[in-house]
């Protein structure tokens, strides 16, 4: 129950714009699968479409589409940590963004990292999706290695799936999230998408600070307005 409660809180910070990090960049090792010299193909035109929401774009996937694709890619890699559709739970009812578009929040409670999603109420399509955990979980290590590696990989796999990047691109996604985590960067733009790390402080115990890695598409006009740092 405690973990579910923590990630209900995480859903609250799933907004449709990039959030600033209040904490200093974390000192973690660069995951072995990361790469800085691979350039992916241009944005897959089937992954996003225009919308009236505040970001001007939305993913073409619903939560069910994402879950199916995520599991399909996991099976292709021989990995067994699959998602279960019925474990997605809605947080509260329908609300509206600043453009008046009706949206809904969802969360998925997993063992080490959890997912959050914001969807348009009418289309049921994803506006953003996130992978979250607590600071203590992220910074801990067990006999199988560093948890930061596992969570960055899970966030990368999430981004690769919803953005429809080509197979084998997890390393690039992972390196983007790694740089956001370890450098003084709120978010980075790559191929039409914003990759960000949002945090929420637990004033009673910093070990319970929430971290949420997110990805969402934005319009070209919004990119010009925000002028985010780009990943190359």
pLDDT tens digits, residue range 170-187? 889 999 999 999 988 889
Phi-psi label, residue 129: left if phi above 0, alpha if psi -120 to 50, beta otherwise: beta
Mean pLDDT per 10-residue section of the chain, whose length is 232 residues: 44 40 59 56 78 97 97 92 93 92 93 87 97 89 81 94 89 92 90 92 77 95 95 82
Map out the domains of the chain as residue ranges. 2-16+47-230
Q: How high is the pLDDT of residue 1?
A: 40
How many beta carbons lie within 10 A of that of residue 45, not counting itself?
Answer: 10
pLDDT above 90 covers a percentage of the chain that reads 55
Interatomic CA distance for residues 101 and 94, integer angstroms: 10
3-state class of 57 per DSSP?
Answer: strand
pLDDT tens digits, residue range 183-198? 888 899 999 999 999 9
Phi, psi torsion values for 182, nearest 5 degrees: -105, -10
The pairing of beta strand 187-190 with beta strand 126-134: unpaired
Q: How high is the pLDDT of residue 12?
A: 43
- Residue 30 DSSP one-character state: P
Which of 209, 45, 48, 220 is closest to 135 using CA atoms? 209
């Amino acid at each position: 129950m405690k973990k579910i409660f923590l990630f209900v809180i995480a859903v609250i910070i799933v907004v449709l714009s990039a959030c600033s990090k209040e904490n200093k960049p974390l000192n973690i090792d660069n995951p072995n699968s990361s790469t800085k010299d691979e350039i992916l193909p241009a944005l897959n035109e089937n992954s996003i479409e225009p919308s009236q929401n505040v970001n001007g774009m939305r993913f073409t996937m619903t939560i069910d589409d994402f879950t199916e694709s995520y599991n399909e890619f996991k099976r292709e890699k021989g990995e067994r940590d699959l998602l279960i559709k019925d474990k997605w739970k809605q947080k509260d009812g329908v609300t509206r963004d600043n453009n008046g578009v009706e949206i809904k929040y969802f969360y998925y409670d997993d063992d080490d990292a959890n997912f959050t999603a914001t969807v348009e109420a009418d289309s049921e399509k994803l506006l953003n999706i996130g992978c979250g955990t607590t600071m203590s979980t992220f910074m801990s290590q067990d006999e199988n290695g560093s948890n930061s590696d596992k969570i960055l990989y899970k966030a990368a796999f999430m981004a690769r799936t919803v953005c429809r990047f080509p197979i084998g691109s997890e390393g690039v996604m992972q390196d983007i999230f790694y740089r956001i985590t370890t450098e003084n960067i709120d978010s980075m733009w790559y191929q039409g998408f914003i990759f960000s790390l949002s945090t929420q402080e637990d004033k009673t115990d910093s070990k319970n600070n929430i971290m949420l890695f997110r990805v969402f598409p934005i319009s070209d006009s919004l990119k010009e307005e925000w002028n985010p740092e780009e990943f190359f």
